[in-house]
Amino acid sequence: MALIPVTVLTGFLGSGKTTLLNRILQEHHGHRVAVIENEFGEAGIDNELLVQEAGEQIIEMNNGCICCTVRGDLVRILGDLAQRRAEGRAAFDRVIIETTGLADPAPVAQTFFVDEDIADHYLLDAIVTVVDAKHGPAQLEAHHEAQEQVGFADRILLSKTDLAEPQEVEALERRLRRMNPRAPIARANFGKTAIDDILDIRGFNLNAILEIEPTFLSDTDHEHDDDIGSFVFHADRPFEPALLEEFFGGIVQVYGTDLLRYKGVLSLKGMERRVVLQGVHMMVGSEPGAPWKPGEARTSRLVFIGRRLPREVFEHGLTQALAPAR
């Protein structure tokens, strides 16, 4: 059987990877996709944010980072998918791996060359990196992972260009070209990009990577910044919209620079639909999600990723924003 092409979708926290993945899943491109999702932290919510209308197989990996602590899980999942496909128990043409925003793509890419069983079944088609035009320059300065994501990219997509000044976007594009002159750069606001430019492009070139990083196939060590952590807030009661808005208005003013990423699926008092909340640093927004089903538990879940965040302060403020118990 032909090798199964794999696209690794990477980019720093909040860059827009899940938005792009949703776009791919909704596009009528004829590809049957299996998705492997990895989130940094004890639990993730991206699976709830994805549109699943065509029976895609979506597998979550939430107990560590795919580039280090759960790399063995990636090998196991890929092996299981290949076996199920060969036995006719799974139908997909390709795999998309959405990495956590803190992942170094190098160890993920290594998997397709150093593990013989994986190399026998899969072809690493391309590493696609999403860069936030608004926050990207600061992220590239502060985080080695953001630099690695750009350096290993076969395609670079600039998101949120509408939130940055034109001269800032142009300066960022020049910087990205200096960092990685071989990767074409395109703009992809709200995940809108040509699917043919990111799938089936045979963009990954092992020889080119070895020229940049000769130890690519042997260096498997990767450590995360110990100051960065995550936590999840669950609630069975709905939030009071005004109180929740007040909480976030205050929290981003105090901790915005250290809030790398926060997102959630929320139950708000008086609303018959979920509310999807997403934020990066001091920018936070929300939009209506899917309606609550009859009899479905209307629970909220928020994930926060940041540097030295005082969990008890956040939990106290969020609890105070809940509607009173009946």
**φ, ψ for residue 25 (rounded to 5)?**
-65, -30
Q: What is the pTM of this model?
A: 0.79
Taking the domain 4-212, which CATH number applies?
Answer: 3.40.50.300
- Confidence at residue 230, expressed as pLDDT on a 0 to 100 scale: 81
Q: What is the DSSP letter of 141?
A: H
Domain 228-320 has CATH 3.30.1220.10: yes
Which pLDDT score is estimated for 136?
94
In the numeric block, which tokens belong to residue 81? 């998918």
Q: With contact defined as beta carbons under 8 Å apart, do 18 and 97 qualify? A: no
Burial class (CB in 10 A: 0-12, 13-18, 19+), 263: buried
pLDDT in the model for residue 52: 45
Q: pLDDT 10s per residue in the chain (326 long)?
A: 589 999 999 999 889 998 898 888 887 777 788 888 887 655 455 556 555 444 456 776 655 555 555 567 888 889 999 999 999 888 888 999 998 888 888 888 888 888 888 999 999 999 999 999 999 999 999 888 899 899 889 999 999 999 999 999 999 999 999 999 989 999 998 888 888 889 888 888 777 777 767 766 666 555 555 677 888 899 999 999 999 999 999 999 999 988 888 888 999 999 999 998 988 888 888 888 889 989 889 999 998 988 889 999 999 999 999 998 77
**Cα→Cα distances 75→10, 45, 78, 135, Å:** 18, 23, 5, 32
Structure tokens at 99: 């990495």
Hey, where are the domains in the chain?
Answer: 4-212, 228-320
- The pLDDT, as a whole number, for residue 31 is 76
pLDDT of residue 5: 95
Is the CB of residue 185 less than 8 Å from the CB of residue 153?
no
- Largest Cα–Cα distance in the chain? 64
Angstrom distance (rounded) from CA 37 to CA 29: 21
